[in-house]
Structure 1
Amino acid sequence: MAMKIKCVSKYILLIVLSATLFAGCHSPKAEKISFEHLPSQPRNSEHDTATFAAGCFWCIEAQFKELKGVEQVLSGYSGGHVKDPTYTQVSLGGTGHAEVIQVVYNPHIVSYDQLLQGFFLAHDPTQLNRQGNDVGEQYRSAIFVHDKIQLDKVRYYIRKMTDEKLYDKPIVTQVEPFTVFYKAEDYHQNYYANNPDEAYCQYVIKPKLEKFKHIFSTNLKHTP
């Protein structure tokens, strides 16, 4: 990332706090046509859903599974035009899909604001269509919003981080209305937990996971 992770964490946490206050007094603006179908608020007060694309889904699945209040994390595909895509199709490009995680969480335990904090800290949102050595539109940074409350929060976060010049480069995270999620093949689920000794898990996923757990040490299901 362009700044040290401690600085990024500090500023994003401040944005989380200010966004919570902001949400109570914000007057919604007119939505673009592509977002008009979104409900004004979550349909279920006990369980909510977030959908994030932040590079390889193996990495962020392992990270978000650690957070207290997160009930389920599935790896899959979203944002494209091909129905029921396979991993091979998505990897070859041309489907429009990104590798994503679908997060089901209890909003009484972990807020969407906190999940956004995790999202921006889990990857570099200034890298266009790539994360490190993983290159292609399937590795793009994107947030698929499920309702207009999520949309307002995401726009607020990106605007604040841009205004604060948190990164040396522009944030390229795409914000799109959620349409459909396609679950990835079974061998992609719980990939890190099932393949901890693989080279990619050891040299790519593990360092990111350890850094994530250090930052969110007070919000983990299991205390380190």
Structure 2
Amino acid sequence: MSSHEEKITLAGGCFWCIEGAYNQLVGIKSAVSGYMGGSAALATYEDVCSGQTGHAEVVQLTFDSAAITCREILEVFFTLHDASQLNRQGNDIGTQYRSGVFYHSKEQQQITEDIIKEVDASNMYNSAVVTEVTQASEFFSGENVHQDYFNNNPGNPYCQAIVSPKLAKFRKTFVGKLKPSET
């Protein structure tokens, strides 16, 4: 990794939407869907969906901190999902859909905690933020079918009904931070 390259891992409901958004941002080198935060020695989609492993659906970002800051990444994160919903996002219910920031440095932890305080103070949501803030643990990359899912499956009913409207709002809100191919 270069001196400006960092990782952060985010859980904000279904990983397809989170990955789809971050892949469009300047400074994001990779956004990989996968699983983190559980106790099982192995995590697969089927295992995680059972709710028995304790893992969350996450997206592990590798980013150039000279092009996009951790704070900017988290500002996007708290816009992409409802961080006040405990163990769910919309109709996706279960601990695998929880809101979480898995930090890779103490600096990321502090920035996350500061932003959560700011978001709560702003009354951005109808209730308090429930985002878990935890040190990153073992990351299990999701199966190939889940990588770049939205772009590879635009006709999927879930993508059309849930992901597409969220990404349209995201692009409108963060137009100045999009990669040239996304504007």
TM > 0.5 fold call: yes
Question: Which of 58, 65, 70 is equivalent to 1:112?
Answer: 70
Residue type of the alignment partner of 1:191? Y
> SS in structure 1 opposite 2:168?
helix
- Say yes or no: does 1:158 pair with 2:116: yes
Aligned length: 182
What residue is the counterpart of 1:86 in the other structure? Answer: 44
- Say yes or no: does 1:147 pair with 2:147: no
Distance 1:145 1:100 in 2: 12
- Say yes or no: does 1:50 pair with 2:3: no
* Cα deviation, residue 161, structure 1: 1.9
Gaps of at least 5 residues in structure 1 are 1-42
Gaps of at least 5 residues in structure 2 are none
* CA displacement, residues 166-200 of structure 1 (integer Å, 9 cap, x when unaligned): 32211100000111110011100010111111111
- Say yes or no: does 1:74 pair with 2:74: no
What residue is the counterpart of 1:167 in the other structure? Answer: 125
Residue type of the alignment partner of 1:117? E
Tell me if the contact between 2:82 and 2:125 (Cα under 8 Å) persists in the aligned partners. no
* Cα deviation, residue 160, structure 1: 1.9
Percent identical residues: 41
Question: What RMSD, in angstroms, separates the aligned Cα atoms of the two structures?
Answer: 1.2
* Cα deviation, residue 45, structure 1: 2.2
What residue is the counterpart of 1:131 in the other structure? Answer: 89
Residue type of the alignment partner of 2:92? D
The alignment's TM-score, normalised by the length of structure 2, stands at 0.96
* CA displacement, residues 26-73 of structure 1 (integer Å, 9 cap, x when unaligned): xxxxxxxxxxxxxxxxx8522111100000001110011000010101
Distance 1:112 1:176 in 2: 15
> SS in structure 2 opposite 1:170?
coil
Residue type of the alignment partner of 1:87? Y
Residue type of the alignment partner of 2:169? K
* Cα deviation, residue 164, structure 1: 3.0
> SS in structure 1 opposite 2:58?
strand
* Cα deviation, residue 201, structure 1: 1.0
User: What does 1:194-213 align with in structure 2 at a 5 Å threshold?
Assistant: 194-213=152-171
The alignment's TM-score, normalised by the length of structure 1, stands at 0.79
> SS in structure 2 opposite 1:175?
strand
Bigger Rg, which one: 1
Question: Which of 169, 178, 182 is equivalent to 1:220?
Answer: 178
Stretch moving more, 44-53 or 142-151 = 44-53
> SS in structure 1 opposite 2:77?
helix
> SS in structure 2 opposite 1:103?
strand
